[in-house]
Amino acid sequence: MNGNTAVAGKGRLYRFIHHDNTVGHIFALPFIFGFVMFSLIPILMSLNYSFTDFSLGTKQADYIGLQNFARLFQDEVFGKSILKTLQYVLISVPLKLSFALLVAFVLTRPTKLVTLYRSLYYLPSLVGGSVAVALVWKQLFARRGLFNAIALSLGLPKVNWFGDAALAIYPLILMSVWQFGSSMIIFAAGLKEIPVSLYEAAEIDGANGWQRFFRITLPMLSPIILYNLIMQTISAFMTFTQAFVITGGGPNNATMLYALNVYNQAFKYNKMGYACAMSWSMLVVMSAVTLVIFKTSRHWVFNEAES
């Protein structure tokens, strides 16, 4: 597989330039540079902070060994935030991805209106964490909001969404699912890449719509599904804005997502060292989850390049 045989017999310089190791490094160079400068150093600095009582505003930070990490185990709020974050990830990611895939698939029908429709569905993702959206979201779920108005008209009891610790996370999950636009676009691009000849062949073989979806679309799209799954999982773990602007972590810490907790510790309670320890512990959890997804992906991701 090495590119060296093809260039045998040319000059040393030529061979060097075209050696896979050189090519790889050259192409990856922007990333390597950026990684070392803007990620690795900050990451190591934060690791260093996690062993100190560093707080912003004061210059003196002392090493306190593993105390920050030990504290994590006694911190009720931290324990709760981990559980809530896992709940958030486990519910929001599958919902968001299925929804994005469904809409992307439905909107590939070659109608002239598809552009309009897709814009309609992408628009919510363009407003992001804006204050306006946070406000309207709050009002939708407020005690006298739209959802309760509907519930009342159907003869159902009113629901105190943001006051009930068991329910408060669902408006946040719904908001995340609502903003499925970027996943949808990536799926749409993936769908477009599937060779039309495969569908034609299947049609000749007499496969119906469902068969074509499960036999061709899903396997061909599986690398993109894996990608969206990993990215959305990571970003769901890092969700901050929704919790920050809508519930502020309440009631009684029922929506205290981990990134919000880190923010509070670092900036509100002024314990940067502890916040860093928190991040590093969570990094371990997230790496484990990502690794599991990768391991299982071997069984369901169809790789065109290797087949």
Partner 1 sequence: MRKKKIAVKALYHILVIVFGLIMIYPVLWMISGSFKDNAQILRGTLSLIPTEWKLSNYPTGWSGFGGTTFLTFFKNSFVVTTVATLGCVLSSSLVAYSLSRVQWRGRRFWFTAMLATMMLPAQVIMIPQYLIYYRLGLVPGYAPLILPYFCGQAFFIYQMMQFMQGIPRELDEAAKIDGCSKYRIYSQIILPLLKPCIVTTVIIQFYWKWDDYMGPLLYLSRPESYTVSIAIKLFADSASVTDYGAMFAMSSLSLIPVFLIFLFFNRYLVQGIGTSGLKG
Partner 2 sequence: MKKNRVIHVLLTSALTAGLLAGCGSSAAPSAPADQTAEQAGKAEETAGEAETEQEPAEESAAAGEPVKLRMAWWGSQNRHDKTIAAIELYESLHPEVTFEYEYYSFDDYFTKLNTLVASDQVWDVFQLGGNFPMYMDKIHPLDEFIASGVVDVSKISESNLKTTQTTEGVQLGLTNGINTYGIAYDPQLFEEAGAVLPTEDWTWEDYQAAADKITDELGIFGSSTFLNSDFIAGCSTFIPQQGELGQYSFFNLDLTGMGFDDPAMLAPYIQMRADMIAHGSYPDAGASAEVTNIENDFLVTGEAAMTWVAVNQFPTIYNVCQEQGRTLALAPLPRVEKDGNAGATIQSSQMLCVSEDSEQKEAAAAFISWFENDIDCNNILQAERGIPANEDVRAALSANTTEGQKIMYDYVDRASKLPMPEEYNVLSPDGQNEVQDNYLNYIQQVASGELTAEEAAQKTYDDASAIFK
Q: Kindly tell me which residue out of 88, 122, 137, 161 binds partner 2, with binding defined by CB under 8 A.
A: 161
Stretch of residues binding partner 2 (CB under 8 A), selected from 30-38, 66-74, 118-126, 290-298: 30-38
**Cα atoms in the Cβ-side hemisphere of radius 13 Å centred on 29:** 6
| Look-up of token digits 């310089």 | 13
Q: How far apart are the first and last CA of the chain?
A: 15
Name which of 24 and 195 has its Cβ closer to partner 2.
24
Structure tokens at 82: 């981990």
98 binds, among partner 1, partner 2, none (CB under 5 to 8 A by kind): none
- For the bound state, the minimum distance from the C-beta of residue 292 to partner 1, rounded and expressed in Å, comes to 13
Tell whether residue 267 is a contact of partner 2 (CB under 8 A).
yes
Contacts with partner 2, 182-221, as mask; x by CB under 8 A? ----------------------------------------
- For the bound state, the minimum distance from the C-beta of residue 86 to partner 2, rounded and expressed in Å, comes to 21
Nearest to 175 by CA among 145, 225, 228, 130: 130
Name which of 103 and 169 has its Cβ closer to partner 1.
103
Tell whether residue 33 is a contact of partner 2 (CB under 8 A).
yes
* DSSP class per residue in 230-280: HHHHHHHHT--HHIIIIITT-STTTT--HHHHHHIIIIIS--HHHHHHHHH
CA angle 31, 283, 130 (to 5 degrees): 75
- For the bound state, the minimum distance from the C-beta of residue 260 to partner 2, rounded and expressed in Å, comes to 12
Dihedrals phi, psi of 63, to nearest 5 degrees: -75, 130
Burial of 273 (0-12, 13-18, 19+ CB in 10 A): buried
Tell whether residue 128 is a contact of partner 2 (CB under 8 A).
no
Name which of 90 and 142 has its Cβ closer to partner 1.
142
Q: What span, in angstroms and rounded, lies between the C-alpha atoms of 176 and 291?
A: 23
Q: Kindly tell me which residue out of 83, 106, 123, 135 binds partner 2, with binding defined by CB under 8 A.
A: 135
- For the bound state, the minimum distance from the C-beta of residue 41 to partner 1, rounded and expressed in Å, comes to 6
- For the bound state, the minimum distance from the C-beta of residue 48 to partner 2, rounded and expressed in Å, comes to 7
Task: Please give the single-letter amino acid code of residue 58.
Answer: T
Q: What span, in angstroms and rounded, lies between the C-alpha atoms of 265 and 178?
A: 29
Tell whether residue 34 is a contact of partner 2 (CB under 8 A).
yes
Name which of 14 and 213 has its Cβ closer to partner 2.
14
CA angle 130, 131, 132 (to 5 degrees): 90
Binding residues (CB under 8 A) for partner 2: these are 13, 16-17, 22, 25-26, 29-30, 33-34, 37, 41, 44-45, 48, 54-61, 135, 138-139, 142-143, 160-164, 168, 246-248, 250-253, 264, 267-270
